[in-house]
Structure 1
Amino acid sequence: MTNNKKLQVWLPLLFSITLIAGMFIGYKMRDGIPGKSFFYTEKRRPIQEVMDLIQRKYVDDVNLNMIADSGIQAMLLQLDPHSAFIPASDVQRVNEDINGSFFGVGIEFNIIQDTLHVVNVLKDGPSFAAGIKTGDKILKAGDSIISGTKIDSERIRGLLRGPLGSDVNLSVLRDSKKMNFAVKRGVIPLVSLDAAYMIDKTIGYIRLNRFSTKTYREFMISLEDLKKKGMQKLILDLRDNGGGVLEEAVEIADEFLAGDKIITYTEGKHTAKKEYRCRRQGQFETGELVVLANEGTASASEILLGALQDWDRATIVGRRSFGKGLVQDQYTLSDNSALRLTIARYYTPAGRSIQRPYTKGKHAYYDEVYNRYTDGEMVSADSVKNDTTKIFKTLVKGKKIFGGGGISPDYFVAADTSKIGLVTARLFSKSILTDYGYRYYLLHPTLQQTYKTPEEFVKSFSITPESWLLLETMAAKDSIKLSGISEKERTFLNNSMKMAVARQLYRSEGYFEAVNADDANVKKAIEILIKN
């Protein structure tokens, strides 16, 4: 009993001492300065110390998140050009590109003189179902005024996109009449296959703009459809395809390669070697195949390109590819931002890495592609800068191929840079040629009834003096004069105007069917396929 009474007397004091000690230790731990805090077990990096000091000592208020983001980006500059930090605000957009879809209203729009114009409505999409039409001008989205304000495309996308099934009320101006539409957001596909059609009775054409998680499925649907139409030979267009999901490129390669051939393998300092091989019988293992490539063909596109070239399965036509042989993995960070970090290199079946050198820094790395124009490589095969210290041979025919700088074509096709003058460059920079097709369509709403197919359009449509006057009027609003241009530039502009109308009428598939009719790369591919 005596001992219990003594404990009752001293217990409040013991609690007080424990509480004070805990507060003191907590304060010291919060201070976070090496050598001064309790339980400190590891020396902190200077970057952590600097961030703490800025937070506790700097004279003004600062946005620490912004400083941290800048610090991460500066660190990544010391690595390779393809490791990247993705701020939390951009992660959703980046993931949408990879996943091949987003939640939205299903329209394509342009901002013309501070007014949002509906340029195209996705057939059977949310806006189509609600009754919105091409040519409508959107004034408000919900309570947010759009028309007549200095608003950028990014903010508009933020207003139109949202959770699946959510509603957005759009106030629209149509033929001087205001109308209101309730649109329920749905799944909007970001299609990675631009076009698939028959060039003639036996030659098919497929164009891929990137590799998302849906690309293989899109490709197979089109491949099977073309085969039903009689396709025996194929032109696969990978020009300006910047890559994407590696596995999708591997799946497509498997459709062209027989047996259990290796397609690619990856390996890094902290990543074990991993081989990707053919796993099944492909749907186009024996048909003649030509692949189109250029300086914009990169990453996953080059994996497909390299596998087909190394196994002598395809003829490559065009220009040297970009030269990206690094594999990135994406990691989500604590604030929902992301780090896309290079974890391995990939190699073609012959064992070559096609990654270009990047030791001179990021700017020099990307300038190398621009320098191909100034160094003559874009117009002359003799100027192509292959790395002659990294020579390999194809695995069937033993042809000489190169590593260390992209993939060089079997047949070179020069870029036609002679037709673009200063006036044309300004028209493109102001998006005037892009807007031209839409404006022309509004003035000629029965065009699609006149030209029911892209083939009819290519054969019969021509630019008239009236058509040219429309371009002059649009250009004059940006103080661009078309008088005095060369005949060669005028011819180029006439063709560009025609292609802009084709895109408006038939979207990407019809556009490429129209533009390919006079494309030097496609013509060379057809010539090769006809000879074989």
Structure 2
Amino acid sequence: MKQGKKVQVWLPLLFAVVMIGGMVIGYKLRDNTQVASNVFRFDTKRSPLQEVLDLVMLKYVDKVSVDTLGNAAIQDMLTKLDPHSNFIPAQHLGALTEDLQGNFQGIGIEFQLFRDTVNVVNVVPGGPSEKAGLQVGDKFLKVGDTTVTGGISSDRIKELLRGPGGSKVTTTLLRNGQPITVTITRGTIPLPSLDAAYLLEPETGYMRISKFSETTYEEFMAGLEKLLGEGMKSLILDLRGNGGGILGEAVDMADEFLDGDKLIVYTEGNNMKRQEYRSRRNGLFEKGNLVLLMDEQSASASEVLAGALQDWDRATIIGRRSFGKGLVQEQYQLSDGSALRLTVARYYTPSGRSIQKPYDKGIEDYQDDLHKRFENGEMNNADSIHAANGKAYKTSKGRTVYGGGGIVPDVFVGADTTLLSSSVTALYRNNTIGNFTYLYYVRNRASVDEFKSPVSYNDAIRFSENDWQSLKKMAEQDSVKVGDFTSADLSFLSERMKALIARYRWRSEGYFQVLNAGDEVVRKAMEEVHGSGGMEEGKKGEGKMEEGKK
């Protein structure tokens, strides 16, 4: 009896101790969980925005989509922040993710709709379609049981052809006027970011990077090793039109060019502490002559790479002032499958320059910036570059560089301002050029394929008067009225058309080999390489720079 009373006395106290201990442990576990998994907890109190959406859904006179209203409200809110914070609806997220991943699941072709028929214009080397025997010039009649002639959309074709790796799709094709049936096993299709890697001349390599995806550094290293194996001593790295992507890929590339423990870039924001990215290993190309090409569409990670190489006097930057995107976004998955890319920090070059151009005058003014550069003469005259009025910084060798938006090149090359007729613009707008060059290659494949290289092809091929008349006739079928071509028109069109035809034969590398033959920026880069014999020697004695003092 006494034993039972003792238990009754101590039992409540025991429960209290256990409960308090559990609360303490739970509180500590909660803190650890938040730090480790980056879980965000929001106040359960409804915001006015949610209240308004609820009232609209309950009381509004007509039926409305809450997703449409909510997405519009989010987008409007984000425009009040900065130009690059962005809400991505669930249905658009897949395509954006594929581009950054550098691959997708499909059959491995490029196609073009011509006269309501799906034409194969490129077959990915080693991909499922090449293994199944597809060729440039094949025309799709059916995919599975679905007829794909007569006005089908590009999106619908992609939907039919794509699918999980390992799955099969049966297609009916038209080849040389005869229908054939081909079954293709889908697989992982790369989306390369390395467009070209070849020797412009003995000992001078050229590489073009179109974006920074998860596979860019790997592709870059393969191209670099190939060129070094062919005897490359100088490299021209082309980042024109490269809108950026994954920061880490650009940092890894910079590490191949910089020796020692050098700051490459750092990021910092109101809610994000300074984070530094530094060179940390022996690179494959730390001493050779290096020239980097940029233009007004080179942005973000491209500017990070260019800024680091310029601040350390490792490369000569040639071209025009870059875009000026120096804001860092992080992507957060939302509960409905959509995502938020939110700006959390800014990029700064090793000397402390902010890459980001101003956006305090609103989103429209920001988006109109490139047009303003044309209007104020910056595209043609280095003295008109607005960023040169920004704060001055010093490179490792004491050269003056400027903040204020984008990377200002060391050697300026203006945009091509050759006056072309309105006919040329119309030919591009209606894709008449693309259709003409595709049909030209299909008709003349045997003669084009005889050439061993894009260079020999480019030197030999000439378009006849009959070819120009065929182009005009095709334009008329596209409801494009074409008058007489000027000499400038003929020169421009001939160069572009030869490059497009070379792409069917030698893919993107052939395209750039032909196009680069007449490229003024590449020519200027070659002059820099030939005239920079003392550059490498001078860079061995690099000075010191105060890293990132804002």
Contact 1:271/1:344 (CA < 8 Å) preserved in 2? yes
Q: Does 1:324 align with 2:325?
A: yes
Contact 1:104/1:160 (CA < 8 Å) preserved in 2? yes
> What is the 5 A alignment of 1:110-509?
110-149=112-151, 151-394=152-395, 396-509=396-509
State TM-score, norm by structure 2: 0.87
* 1:11 corresponds to: none
* 2:19 corresponds to: none
- Cα 1:204–1:389 change in 2 (3 A) is closer
Per the TM alignment, residue 225 of structure 1 is displaced from its structure 2 partner at its CA by 0.8
- Cα 1:461–1:164 change in 2 (3 A) is same
* 1:37 corresponds to: none
SS at match of 1:239: coil
Instruction: Please give the per-residue CA displacement for 1:420-469, whole angstroms capped at 9, x wherever unaligned.
Output: 32111111111111222211111112134321101111221111223222
Partner Cα distance (1:466, 1:503) in 2: 22
Instruction: Please give the per-residue CA displacement for 1:97-135, whole angstroms capped at 9, x wherever unaligned.
Output: 111000001111001122111111122211122222211
Contact 1:419/1:492 (CA < 8 Å) preserved in 2? no
Partner Cα distance (2:123, 2:160) in 1: 17
Partner Cα distance (1:127, 1:488) in 2: 40
* 2:17 corresponds to: none
Partner Cα distance (1:42, 1:443) in 2: 67
Moved more, 514-523 or 444-453: 444-453
Per the TM alignment, residue 319 of structure 1 is displaced from its structure 2 partner at its CA by 0.3
Q: Does 1:79 align with 2:81?
A: yes
One-letter code aligned to 1:167: K
SS at match of 1:518: coil
Partner Cα distance (1:371, 1:159) in 2: 43
Per the TM alignment, residue 514 of structure 1 is displaced from its structure 2 partner at its CA by 1.0
In structure 1, runs of 5+ residues without a counterpart are 1-40
Partner Cα distance (1:223, 1:187) in 2: 24
Per the TM alignment, residue 261 of structure 1 is displaced from its structure 2 partner at its CA by 0.1
Q: Which runs of 4 or more aligned residues in structure 1 lie more than 4 Å from their structure 2 counterparts after TM superposition?
A: none
In structure 2, runs of 5+ residues without a counterpart are 1-42, 533-550
* 1:57 corresponds to: 59
One-letter code aligned to 1:139: L
SS at match of 1:275: strand
Moved more, 93-102 or 121-130: 121-130
Contact 2:136/2:504 (CA < 8 Å) preserved in 1? no
- Cα 1:65–1:42 change in 2 (3 A) is closer
Contact 1:436/1:500 (CA < 8 Å) preserved in 2? no
Instruction: Please give the per-residue CA displacement for 1:305-353, whole angstroms capped at 9, x wherever unaligned.
Output: 0000000100000000000000111111111111111111010000010
SS at match of 1:103: strand
Partner Cα distance (1:98, 1:355) in 2: 22
One-letter code aligned to 2:94: Q
- Cα 1:42–1:478 change in 2 (3 A) is closer
Partner Cα distance (1:61, 1:167) in 2: 42
Contact 1:320/1:408 (CA < 8 Å) preserved in 2? yes
Contact 1:192/1:210 (CA < 8 Å) preserved in 2? yes
One-letter code aligned to 1:173: L
Contact 1:421/1:489 (CA < 8 Å) preserved in 2? yes
How many positions carry a matched residue from both structures? 490
Question: RMSD of aligned C-alpha atoms?
Answer: 1.4
Contact 2:217/2:249 (CA < 8 Å) preserved in 1? yes
Partner Cα distance (2:271, 2:182) in 1: 54
Per the TM alignment, residue 42 of structure 1 is displaced from its structure 2 partner at its CA by 6.1
One-letter code aligned to 1:186: G
State TM-score, norm by structure 1: 0.90
Partner Cα distance (1:400, 1:144) in 2: 63
Partner Cα distance (1:273, 1:260) in 2: 17
Partner Cα distance (1:196, 1:419) in 2: 32
Per the TM alignment, residue 368 of structure 1 is displaced from its structure 2 partner at its CA by 0.5
Contact 2:195/2:208 (CA < 8 Å) preserved in 1? yes
Per the TM alignment, residue 43 of structure 1 is displaced from its structure 2 partner at its CA by 4.7
* 2:516 corresponds to: 516
Partner Cα distance (1:104, 1:251) in 2: 29
One-letter code aligned to 1:495: E
One-letter code aligned to 1:188: I
* 1:21 corresponds to: none
SS at match of 1:466: helix
Partner Cα distance (1:354, 1:126) in 2: 42
* 1:94 corresponds to: 96
State the percentage of identical aligned residues. Answer: 50
Partner Cα distance (1:420, 1:341) in 2: 41
Aligned match of 1:107 in 106, 109, 113?
A: 109
SS at match of 2:212: coil
Contact 1:326/1:346 (CA < 8 Å) preserved in 2? yes
One-letter code aligned to 2:198: Y
